[in-house]
Amino acid sequence: MKAAHASTAMTTLAPPPNGFHDPTVYVVRTGEDPWDDVELREVRDGLKETVNELRAEIAVSENGIADLLRDSGEGAGDDQADTGTKNFEREHEMSLTNNARGMLLQSEKALRRLADGTYGACESCGSAIGKARLQAFPRATLCVTCKQREERR
C-alpha cells in the first residue's frame, strides 16, 4: 500500500481530457490504497451530477424568490401576520438558495482540484485528506485535523 507524497499533489498539473489524472498523482494517507480509475470516475461523476442538480435547484429557487419579491407588497387585506409570513418565506427561500450556491461552488472547486491534480491534499497543511473522508464528502478541502482547528476558531 503505497502513499503518495503531499508535495506531489500540491503541484498543479494541466487538466487531463477525462477530468482526472493518473491515480498515483492524488495523495492518500499512509496505509490507504492508492486511488484507482474507478474510484476517481465515481467521485468525478458524483460531483458532476451534484453540480447539475444544484444548478437546476438554484434556477427554480431564483424563480420562486422572484415570485415572492413580486408578491411582497402589501396586498389588499394583508395584516401584519400575512406580511411577516411573506417575509419569512422570502428569507427562508433566499437562505436555501445561498446554501445551494455555496455547495455548488464547493463542488465546482472539487472538480477543478481533480483536474489540476490537487484533489485529496489538504489546502491548509498539504497532508492527505483521506480517501474515506473524500468518498463520503467529496467536497472536503481540509484534513480532519485542520477542519477541527478551523471549527474551534
* Dist CA 118 CA 124 (whole Å): 12
> Which stretch, 14-23, 30-39, 58-67, 73-82, has highest mean pLDDT?
30-39
Query: How far apart (Å, rounded) are the C-alpha atoms in residues 136 and 140?
Result: 9
Q: How confident is the model at residue 7 (pLDDT cuts 50, 70, 90)?
A: very low
pLDDT exceeding 90 applies to what percent of the chain?
59
pLDDT of residue 90: 81
Predicted confidence at residue 63, as pLDDT, reads 86
- The residue type of 58 is I
pLDDT tens, position by position, 28-56: 999 999 999 999 999 999 999 999 999 99
Q: Answer positive or negative: Cα dihedral of 142, 143, 146, 152.
A: positive
Mean pLDDT of the chain: 85
Categorize the per-residue pLDDT at 10 as very low, low, confident or very high, splitting at 50, 70 and 90.
Answer: low
Cβ atoms < 10 Å from Cβ of 12:
12
Domain 6-152 homologous superfamily, CATH: DksA, coiled-coil domain (1.20.120.910)
Report the range out of 19-33, 70-84, 109-123 with the highest average pLDDT: 109-123
Polymer length of the chain? 153
- Tell me if 119 sits within 8 A of 90, measured CB to CB: no
Q: Is the pLDDT of residue 3 over 50?
A: no
pLDDT tens digit string along 108-140?
999 999 999 999 999 999 999 999 999 999 999
Measure the CA–CA gap between 1 and 113, rounded to whole angstroms: 23
What sections of 21-123 are H helices per DSSP? 37-70, 80-116
